[in-house]
């Protein structure tokens, strides 16, 4: 009887883990079903560039390739970090790029990827670059980090 109870508990525990990590707002699922990833872009060359209505740069290219893997296209919103963070909090932006580093001031408002690239600032200090997603959207964060890990060679 004890082994039957243990088996039942183990089965229920594993069943509860099937959707971890989770996206409480289902962002990754929506990106895949609607086939659109809403990218917030804060201009910060060479990480992000804006020329007229064209956006580019290292980070935009990385997110564009991530969107393609998800079967989606990019819908971009250009602005400063603070307005884009507010839009992200309202669920209007899925991923935010703009040369953000691990020292960014938004860590209590957004989820950040692991550092995927390094650069040296004008004072010679090493900066570690991250991208931002809506706070709590851990499934999207995890998939984006996997993509960045696979793309790491393209940054060198």
**pLDDT tens-digit series, residues 71-112:** 999 999 999 999 999 999 999 999 999 999 999 999 899 999
Q: Which residue has the tokens 């004008």?
A: 122
Query: Residue 156 — very low, low, confident or very high, per pLDDT cuts 50/70/90?
Result: very low
* Average pLDDT over the chain, rounded to an integer: 90
Q: Give the residue among 21, 107, 97 at the shortest CA–CA distance from 65.
A: 97
Q: Read off the tokens for 48.
A: 């992000």
Which of 155 and 144 is assigned the larger pLDDT? 144
Burial code of 13-42, b = ≥16 C-beta within 10 A, e = fewer? eeeeeeeeeebeeebbebbeeeebbbbbbb
The whole model's pTM is what? 0.85
CATH, domain range 27-151: 3.40.190.10
Residues 6+ apart with CB under 8 A from 22: 138, 139
pLDDT, mean of residues 4-22? 58
User: 53 pLDDT exceeds 70?
Assistant: yes
For the segment 108-132, the average pLDDT, to the nearest whole number, is: 96
């Amino acid at each position: 009887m004890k082994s039957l109870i243990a088996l039942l508990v183990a089965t229920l525990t594993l069943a509860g883990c099937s959707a971890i990590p989770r996206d409480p707002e289902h962002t990754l699922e929506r990106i895949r079903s609607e086939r659109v990833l809403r990218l917030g872009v804060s201009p910060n060359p060479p990480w992000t560039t804006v020329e007229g209505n064209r956006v580019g740069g290292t980070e935009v290219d990385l997110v564009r390739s991530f969107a393609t893997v998800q079967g989606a296209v990019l819908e971009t919103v250009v602005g400063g970090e603070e307005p884009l963070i507010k839009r992200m909090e309202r669920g209007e932006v899925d991923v935010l790029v703009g040369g953000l580093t691990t020292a960014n001031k938004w860590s209590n408002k957004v989820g950040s990827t692991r550092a995927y690239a390094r650069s040296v600032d004008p004072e010679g200090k090493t900066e570690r670059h991250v991208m931002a997603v809506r706070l709590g959207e851990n499934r999207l964060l995890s998939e984006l980090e996997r993509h960045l890990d696979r793309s790491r060679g393209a940054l060198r």
